[in-house]
Amino acid sequence: MAKALSVVARAGIARAVDPVAGALLRIGISPDAVTVLGTIGVLVGACGFGARGHFIAGTVIVTLSAFTDLIDGAMARKLGRTGKFGAFIDSTMDRVADGSIFAAVAYWLGTQHRTWGAAAALICLVAGQVVSYAKARAESLGMTANVGVAERPSG
């Protein structure tokens, strides 16, 4: 049931993302540029707004910027360019984006003297990085690590 739902969701996402990916390619923007611009957007939302307590604006900016993670993958597939460098830059920028969100929350909580909340945000930051590292390390050793309840969609 969950697998069928995933197939339906992916088809719906592709219908929304593919036209945007095609338009960006037609004007000469590369998938890697979209990856980096999306990360910059997340940094602006997290550090520029979230770290100052403007959580609604920060969340909107981060959410819109996170959609680039779907668009860059669709662009690469359209180009037939799904190579190692693109995958490397994508996963690296994902870690930067994820870390910036939790760092911004930890910073804001710290400035509000909410030390337990800041500590929890820092634990989430580290745990998120460790999960990504563990998956990459397992795969580099020839094992699979495709389990979990909140896996990122394939972009």
Cβ atoms of 101 and 62 within 8 Å: the answer is: yes
Q: What are phi and psi of 98, to 5 degrees?
A: -60, -45
19 lies in some domain: no
Percentage of the chain modeled with pLDDT above 90: 63
59 occurs within a structural domain: yes
Residue 57 has pLDDT above 90, yes or no: yes
Number of domains in the chain: 1
**What is the rounded CA–CA span in Å between residue 35 and residue 141?**
27
Write down the catalytic residue from 69, 72, 90, 94.
94
Catalytic (active site) residue 32:
no
pLDDT (tens digit per residue) in 63-110 = 999 999 899 989 998 998 878 888 899 989 999 999 999 999 999 999
Q: Could you tell me the pTM of the whole model?
A: 0.82
Q: Which domain holds residue 124?
A: 31-71+82-140
Residue 152 belongs to some domain of the structure: no
CATH number of domain containing 63: 1.20.120.1760
In a domain, 121, yes or no: yes
State both tokens at 34: 């979209």
* Residue 126 forms part of a structural domain: yes
Q: Is residue 77 part of a domain?
A: no
Domain assignment of residue 24, yes or no = no
| Mean pLDDT, the chain, whole residue set | 88
